[in-house]
Structure 1
Amino acid sequence: MPDRVYLDWNATTPLRREAREAMTAAWDLSGNPSSVHAEGRQARRLVEEARLRVASSIGAPPRSVIFASGGTEANTLALTPGLRRASGLPVRRLLVSAIEHTSVLSGGRFPAEAIGTVGVTRSGLLDLDRLRAALEAGAPALVSVMLANNETGAVQPVAEAAEVVHSAGGLLHVDAAQAFGKIPFYINSLNADLVTVSAHKIGGPKGVGAVILAEGLLGLEALLRGGGQELGRRAGTENVSGIVGFGAAAAAAVGDLEGDAIRLEGFRKRLESGLRQTPGVIVFSDDVPRLPNTTLFTVPGLRAETAVIGFDLAGIAVSSGSACSSGKVQPSHVLEAMGFGPELAQGAVRLSLGWSTSSADIDRCLEAWRKLSRTLLKGSDETLLERF
């Protein structure tokens, strides 16, 4: 679409040139990567090169990477009862932070009665004191904490949580889908036992994700059974072109993380400064470390659905919190967990930036908001759509 401004990068990203070129070449391959003939070996070589690229991007050995059909399947595979270290007990319960992605909140393969929720602070960070109390109240647990929240961008205290979890004999899963390619991290620096990532959040294709395992983790049972693909943990012929695109995107995404972060944080600060020219604007989690590209804001009385439509009519793609609810605009469970009431939780608008975001895009967004806010905060939804 010409003359559109895309500010919904946390929902999904455009396909990177590097990923497109790699996938186009892979589409011409005829071999099954499990076959032993030349064509099969060629396909296998591409899959393993991509595995190395994804592993290298977070400092893990290639054999620790298990490819899946996306972040949701990767999370479901990771959240497995019975996981353990050689010297520890198998985990039989799951603790998740209240701001997790719905694929984690659903509990993976744990039964509902074995799942507990840990609260967060008003700033949107995992409450470590509540985590300690929850761990002390039962048997060793698998704890799932996202590295950065997809709505607020708040970067979670994962390393501190890992210390708490491991001291209690538990294991830590980190959903890094939103942080991957935006901030630098390594699996060892997180001290995580499992990390999950998704290709389409970093400029790769949709429908590809991965679980990365720390060394020495035992008990990860296959989610899909059949052949012995993906080290016996995920049966089914590998999506060669998708995996190759994932690998190319991973290499590109971590190529200049520091430079990209500085540029995007500058844009975000200018964006938030402009938004705050409207009286009453609230920027959530602005008092804690955040992803450099993410702003979640509202004004009391704002209806997010109407604001998103207004931005869209102005040629700007934004979102209302998460985009994973079948297109429905619902109160943000993240903001509700942070202690904000329905009025604010229903009115939050997320702006997320990416590698092609320009200064002109920020200018257009702020100009659209100036026009929108004058109408949104004074008139009805119908009035907005008539005037804008």
Structure 2
Amino acid sequence: MPPKKVVQETKVQWGRPGNNLKAGIVGMPNVGKSTFFQAITKSVLGNPANYPYATIEPEEAKVAVPDERFDYLTELYKPVRIVPAFLTVIDIAGLTKGAHTGAGLGNSFLSNVRAVDAIFQMVRAFDDAEIVHVEGDVNPVRDLSIILEELLIKDAEFVTKHLEGLKKITSRGANTLEMKMKKEEQATTERVLEHLTVTKQPIRKGNWTNKEIEFINTLLLLTAKPVIYLVNMSERDYLRQKNKYLPKIKAWIDENSPGDILIPVSVAFEERLTRMPEEEAQEECKRLNTKSMLPKIIITGYNALKLINYFTVGPEEVRAWTIRDGTKAPQAAGVIHTDFEKAFVCGEIMHYDDLVEYKSENACRSAGKYMTKGKDYVMVSGDVAHWKAGKR
């Protein structure tokens, strides 16, 4: 008898389900968050200023996700209208020590963080006597530790209250299926609380089963959200690719949040580029032998949310549609219109790479690369789809 094939279980994704997910810019006051928000969104939203809490209410904007595949398709089809994929970015008020007690704008800050799905955490790694630091001096490792501590404490407070509620239910002692499920939830909640208060690492860094992750996702914990660390350096340090704080920041991430991504950036440089016409900005980057980090940051945020896109194409419109990785064909069609999901028949799908190789849809058909997919088909990033739906 041949050995049984081992089917590897697909890991459940962190976070709430859905395609309209958001990334929030988080950090201490006066680290460059609002200026970065203006640069990445190419807008005048936000309120960059040299004093704490210049940003109070969160600002929100969509940024186009750079994608060479989308650019190629628009060249190939030359449509009347083009719509790229977008990432929603939110500028959140600065956090200070004691935020979990309501210090500064603590309560507002933490509720705004709870409302986003991924975090761009900006840390200041530049010295400037004219830009005040809420803690008195520039110390990125201290700032990182403050924010992590505040998020861990707030999560622990929330989990403690949830655990108290579960204990009241399970103490009744009824031997029912529902009670068994509540006892399992209680055991998971106790493990979560121990991870937050004893291990003192973000929840996303724990070793959890799929069933546990599904339950933890319902809690919307702050430390379950993916984090991309943005190290804001001076333009001089960015251009010479050297900064005295970077090794210490990297060591802190490796110890406290291993595996998370660190991206050095100069917000001052990015802001200067956004004030130039695009061609002039490109020439400036060429002159300085450097490049903007904004495209990388946007793509990294998009990927951190486990988002992918598929395309619909034609002479009228080329559009990138955002879906969660692992989405099946009917749900992907439903992003366009809910009726497409409810009355789904099939999808006619070719892949971007095949379209590039064969140059046209007809050539893809002839080569057998244009295929009909049913309800169980799992979408792949770069699929080009035409949907068929019945009448409802």
So what's the TM-score if we normalise by structure 2?
Answer: 0.26
**More RCO (CA 8 Å, sep 6+):** 1
Computing the radius of gyration from Cα coordinates, the structure with the larger value is: 2
Q: Which has the higher strand share?
A: 2
